[in-house]
Amino acid sequence: MKNLKKLFIIFIATLTAIACGEPEIPVELFDVMDKGAFARKMTQTGGYNYYDVAGSSIDIHVEYYDEAKGANIASYDIDVEYIDLIAGGSKSVGRVDFVTIQSSEFVVNSDGYLSSDISLGFSAALAAIGKTRADIDGGSYFRYHMTITKKDGTVFTNDNTGPNMKSSNAIRALFYLDVAIVCPSALEGTFNTVTVGWCGLTSSQMSFEWVKAGAENLYAVVGGDFSYGAYFTCYGGWTGKPMGNLKVQDACGILSPTGASQWSEVYMFNDVDLSSDRTTLVIDWINDYGEAGVTDFTNWSGGLWPAGLN
């Protein structure tokens, strides 16, 4: 009993010592923590039109946030790179300086926050990477990289900012921005065709229509006859049609087939040629079953085909 009493006294003394000791703090206190900063994207308008470089820009309005309502931010730096998706990456240009906005240029907006109105001009982006429109392709894109530097020298980028900060609708921290180079496409319309099929016979003149399908630059032929009369002519009046999900893709004037027929046949355009007076579009096509044709497309929507098709 005496030994048990001694053990109980030792146990109480030990608990008392622990309770009175300095407790471990599992997190940093706010006054000694590293404090972040970011630019919040409030609005974004505009786009990059391949056919209108001078008139194209992305315009954004950002508000600056840190522990002092943006007052401890020294600068907002923007770099740009060109990412080639058309020529296998061979035309890509690495990250270069675009613009640096110093804190002295921040203005207080109508909501009382330090802010900036930023214009990312298409022409300015090309100048920054040392290229002209002839050196790039529609369908590729520019990527902008943003860096916040605070007055104490700490730096915040896309790499050291959590994904929730960037993806949250409430926060919208802007550390990078991708801007696609778009080629507006408008090939929907009616036209007449005459096709010389793989059998050597020439179809009668027929009428067809392209409609947008699935994207702004994809066109399906109404009725599904991607042979434009060649099946009917070469198969002795057979009314079967390729159907499937075949479409014509317009990639900044470069026409190509996408998808496959109902029999899984894949098509290829050997040549696309637009006459100098733009009245006739000629497509030399073939599929992997061996069916082929050369089709003249005329009287597009009662007028001329858009310039630059090939």
* Residues 22-62 pLDDT 10s: 444 444 333 434 678 999 999 999 999 998 999 999 999 99
Threshold 0.85, pTM exceeds? no
User: By the 8 A CB rule, do 150 and 39 touch?
Assistant: no
Distance CA 188, CA 210 (A): 5
> What backbone phi and psi angles, to 5 degrees, belong to 13?
-65, -40
So what's the pLDDT on residue 44?
Answer: 94
So what's the pLDDT on residue 31?
Answer: 46
Mean pLDDT of successive 10-residue stretches along the chain, which has 310 residues: 45 47 44 73 94 96 95 98 93 98 97 97 98 93 97 94 72 89 92 98 98 91 98 96 95 90 96 97 97 97 90
Per-position b or e across 42-74, b if 16+ CB within 10 A of its CB: bebebebbbeebeebbbebebbbbbeeebebbb
User: CB-hemisphere CA count at 13 Å for 281?
Assistant: 25
So what's the pLDDT on residue 166?
Answer: 67
Q: What is the pLDDT of residues 238-280, one digit of tens each?
A: 999 999 999 999 988 889 999 999 999 999 999 999 999 999 9
User: By the 8 A CB rule, do 38 and 161 touch?
Assistant: yes
- In residues, how long is the chain? 310
Q: How many helices (DSSP H) and strands (DSSP E) are in the chain?
A: 4, 17
DSSP 136: S
Question: Alpha-carbon dihedral of residues 134, 135, 139, 144, nearest 10 degrees?
Answer: -120
So what's the pLDDT on residue 214?
Answer: 86
> Which has the closest alpha carbon to 111: 171, 63, 43?
63
